[in-house]
């Protein structure tokens, strides 16, 4: 694995260039905190999306691996046969190349020239990571190198370690997520049905910052609210992990498997299966990038003393 390390006085981050430019470790030396769930490359990973910040393009599931845009049909391989969907793309498996690096920052790039899945556009993805006293700053720039509008279905499967300070009580971690509407999903395919659900007890806990991710299972899809911040609070140490995302990430998927030591707080710029959804445009967030144009997306992860909920 080609892994680079960047450091500030407070934070150390490791980025795996061999696998999608994934920031697979974020460590805070002041509190001895391992913020992201870190992979153990000495053995096979149980799931490549449950470590670090894997990039998703196209994000989440595409029903039948197909959709239409501007009269063109886009076809992706079915890599989740149980749901007959294409899942998450393969950008997380591609080699990224460093174009600039300092002690506390790195810029890496992936360029596709007619060889990314069956995607009919040349494009470039540039990831910039920087660590300072304030935390980890991530900038993603996607550029359309083709001559037609390019669909941009994009997100991250960011996975946090719980507890992030290993010596702390597992029961003292709670989550706040600035979410709005929940999108109902089919039980077998996990695809949105088109129905928006009323807020229930779990949604209210997320909004209030009292959801316990080590006690309660969750797999839900939401529109973001306000700034869309997501905050993990360690009550025993009075520490907050704050995940801030660009407003372009209008959707969230929150998932914690069996509630056994991690939680995925996934920013997305569109609804799952957005091109095939009958909802109105503002309810599904389908986006595209014009020929020769770029779009940037910003995120920040920080560890802060105090209750930031």
What is the structure's pLDDT at 170?
65
How confident is the model over 266-292, as a mean pLDDT? 93
Q: Residue 276's pLDDT is what?
A: 96
Query: Can you give the pTM of this predicted structure?
Result: 0.96
pLDDT at 306: 98
Give the chain's domains with CATH numbers: 3-305 (2.70.98.10)
Query: Which tens digit of pLDDT belongs to each residue from 136-150?
Result: 999 999 999 999 999
**If you average pLDDT over residues 165-186, what whole number do you get?**
88
* Burial (Cβ within 10 Å: 0-12, 13-18, ≥19) of residue 228: buried
Residue 208 phi/psi, 5-degree rounding, is -80, -15
Contact 29, 12 (CB under 8 A): yes
Write down the pLDDT at residue 280.
81
pLDDT digits (tens, 9 = 90+) for 218-263: 999 999 999 999 999 999 999 999 999 999 999 999 999 988 899 9
Cα 64 to Cα 66: distance, rounded to the nearest angstrom = 5
98: left (phi over 0), alpha (psi -120 to 50) or beta: beta
pLDDT bin (cut points 50, 70, 90) of residue 279 is confident
Distance of CA 296 to the CA centre of its chain: 15
The answer to whether the Cα torsion of 92, 23, 102, 304 is positive or negative is positive
Question: Residue 217's closest CA among 252, 255, 181?
Answer: 255
């Amino acid at each position: 694995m080609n892994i680079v390390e960047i450091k500030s006085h407070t934070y150390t981050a490791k980025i795996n260039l061999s696998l999608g430019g994934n920031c697979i470790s974020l460590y805070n030396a002041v509190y001895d905190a391992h913020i992201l769930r870190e992979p153990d490359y000495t053995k096979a990973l149980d799931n490549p999306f449950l470590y670090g910040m894997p990039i998703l393009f196209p994000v989440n599931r595409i029903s039948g691996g197909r959709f239409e845009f501007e009269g063109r049909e886009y076809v992706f391989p079915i890599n989740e046969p149980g749901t007959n969907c294409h899942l998450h793309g393969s950008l997380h498996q591609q080699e990224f190349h460093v174009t600039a690096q300092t002690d506390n920052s790195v810029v890496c790039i992936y360029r596709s020239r007619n060889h990314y899945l069956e995607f009919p556009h040349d494009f470039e993805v540039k990831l910039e990571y920087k660590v300072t006293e304030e935390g980890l700053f991530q900038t993603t720039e996607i550029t359309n190198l083709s001559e037609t509008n390019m669909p941009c279905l994009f997100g991250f499967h960011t996975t946090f370690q719980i507890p992030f300070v290993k010596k702390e009580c597992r029961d003292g971690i709670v989550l706040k997520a600035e979410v709005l509407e929940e999108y109902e999903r089919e039980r077998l395919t996990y695809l949105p049905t088109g129905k928006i659900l009323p807020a229930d007890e779990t949604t209210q806990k997320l909004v209030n910052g009292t959801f316990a991710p080590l006690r309660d299972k969750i797999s839900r899809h939401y529109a973001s609210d306000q700034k869309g911040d997501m905050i993990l609070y360690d009550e025993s140490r009075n520490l907050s992990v704050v995940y801030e995302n660009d407003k372009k990430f209008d959707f969230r998927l929150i998932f914690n498997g069996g509630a056994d030591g991690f939680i995925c707080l996934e920013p997305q710029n569109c609804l799952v299966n957005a091109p095939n959804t009958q909802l109105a445009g503002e309810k599904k967030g389908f986006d595209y990038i014009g020929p020769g144009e770029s779009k940037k997306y910003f995120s920040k992860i920080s560890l802060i003393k105090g209750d930031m909920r």
